A = this chain, B = another copy of it.
Amino acid sequence: MITTGNDNKPAIRFDLIAQEGEARAGVLTTRRGEIETPVFMPVGTAGTVKGIRFEELESEELDPKIILGNTYHLWLRPGIETIRECGGLHKFIGWQRALLTDSGGFQVWSLGALRKIDEEGTHFRSHVDGSAQFLSPEISMEVQAALGSEIVMAFDECAPGNATHEETLKSMSLTSRWAKRSRTRFDQLQGEGADTGRAVTTNCLSGAQAIFGIVQGASHLSLRRESLAQTVEIGFDGYALGGLSVGEEKPVMFEVIREIAPVMPADRPRYLMGIGTPEDLIDAVAAGIDMFDCVLPTRNGRTGQAFTSSGKLNIKNAQWAKDSRPIDELCNCSVCRRHSRAYLRHLYLSGEMLASILLTHHNLAFFLDTMRAVRQSIRSGVFHKFRREFTERLNANGE
């Protein structure tokens, strides 16, 4: 399989190992090591996966091989000059494993009234200091080169979940033109050696960054197919489904995933952006998705919600006040081995940072463990059985 690279070497390799229905298990090889798929990527917005130390992430208990960084946040603060002077994002934050950076497109889009989009790019006001800013495909590529991530995302425009056909077509067409500009500037930057993460040699890989294209089209399947065709036409190392979980109903979202994922290029990784709950992940794997990122385990951990094998658990509930059981009796993470619901509830109600730290840890352990189990089940040909049992357990006792 040929991907972005030089000297006829690809920037990444993607090898499928097993398939069951549409569900796939594979290995994505980057210049920073191998990543078994399907994979969940914890979100490290501003150069930290909130509430957890890298040493904890690297422990066997969690052990994600790749995390996500947000171009928008890092670009605004501490700024690209700082990160470049500190040797790129890996060196700056002290993380030697793989990084995927988003393009900033979605973050800027989320600003709503604070941004204005034209053909050239997006004008917006910084959430940090209110200053006027401008982000374009070219700038996003320059920033991502300075960050030096293993996987760069094309700069896209996102239509709301309930956008009309006409609005969506307009937005999707802009995304396609931006994808082309992203690809062009990305290739220039690779040629110029702007990538701070460049590796001199990495087995059969070029050592360059890889770039993924993003399929848009809201809930309009015909536009999704058109967007996919246009994105594949440009040619990327992997393909993402973007613009989902942005206001549409969940059945609508899954219709898009189930219709589009299976027809995305089979020999490239398929990445579902920003989604979702453990059951969402498993359903999307069943449709053929290989990569995920989501803030749910970290964000919900900070607001007192734990994900467990029997559903969500709100640690604030009075019923846990004297409950000596762990959050999840089937979980073997260090938090569940050591701490009770009563203690975690006390920490949360007392406003103690440790509540966020421990709930974040458990939630990440639950997501990453679930994905390990998903991979194993596909490799063993028992994914559909696993999926059924997982879902039954989840619904047995949830709040």
- A residues near B, CB below 8 A? 46-48, 50-55, 73, 77-78, 81-82, 85-87, 91-94, 321-322, 324, 334, 338-340, 342-343, 345-347, 349-350, 352-354, 356-358
Q: How far is the CA of A342 from the CA of B321 in the complex (A)?
A: 41
Nearest CB in chain B to that of A302: its residue: B353
**Contact with A346, one of B77, B87, B347, B358 (Cβ below 8 angstroms):** B77
Contact between chains at A47 and B82 (CB < 8 Å):
no
**Contact with A354, one of B50, B82, B322, B350 (Cβ below 8 angstroms):** B50
Known: A78-B321, A81-B322. 7 other contacts (CB 8 A): A46-B347, A51-B357, A53-B354, A87-B324, A93-B339, A353-B357, A357-B357
Give the chain B neighbours of A78 by CB distance below 8 A. 321, 342, 345-346, 349
Q: How far is the CA of A258 from the CA of B237 in the complex (A)?
A: 71
Contact between chains at A47 and B77 (CB < 8 Å):
no
Most chain B CB within 10 A, of A322, A345, A347, is at A322
**Contact with A347, one of B48, B82, B86 (Cβ below 8 angstroms):** B48
Q: A54-B338, A324-B86 are known contacts. Are A94 and B343 too (CB-CB below 8 A)?
A: yes
Contact between chains at A343 and B46 (CB < 8 Å):
no
**Contact with A82, one of B86, B91, B342, B356 (Cβ below 8 angstroms):** B342
**Contact with A342, one of B54, B55, B86, B322 (Cβ below 8 angstroms):** B86
**Contact with A353, one of B86, B93, B353 (Cβ below 8 angstroms):** B353
Q: How far is the CA of A374 from the CA of B113 in the complex (A)?
A: 60
Q: How far is the CA of A97 from the CA of B321 in the complex (A)?
A: 24
Contact between chains at A353 and B321 (CB < 8 Å):
no
Contact between chains at B53 and A358 (CB < 8 Å):
yes
Nearest CB in chain B to that of A324: its residue: B86
**Contact with A51, one of B50, B94, B321, B353 (Cβ below 8 angstroms):** B353
Nearest CB in chain B to that of A55: its residue: B334
Contact between chains at A77 and B338 (CB < 8 Å):
no
Give the chain B neighbours of A50 by CB distance below 8 A. 352-354
Contact between chains at B354 and A51 (CB < 8 Å):
yes
Contact between chains at B342 and A48 (CB < 8 Å):
no
Give the chain B neighbours of A356 by CB distance below 8 A. 353
Q: Which 4 pairs of residues, A with B, have the shortest CB-CB distance?
A: A78-B346, A48-B354, A94-B338, A85-B322
Q: How far is the CA of A229 from the CA of B46 in the complex (A)?
A: 58
Q: How far is the CA of A50 from the CA of B352 in the complex (A)?
A: 7
Give the chain B neighbours of A342 by CB distance below 8 A. 78, 82, 86, 92
Min CB distance, A130 to chain B, in Å? 16
Contact between chains at A86 and B322 (CB < 8 Å):
yes
Q: A50-B354, A82-B321, A357-B357 are known contacts. Are A94 and B339 too (CB-CB below 8 A)?
A: yes
Min CB distance, A219 to chain B, in Å? 35
Nearest CB in chain B to that of A50: its residue: B353
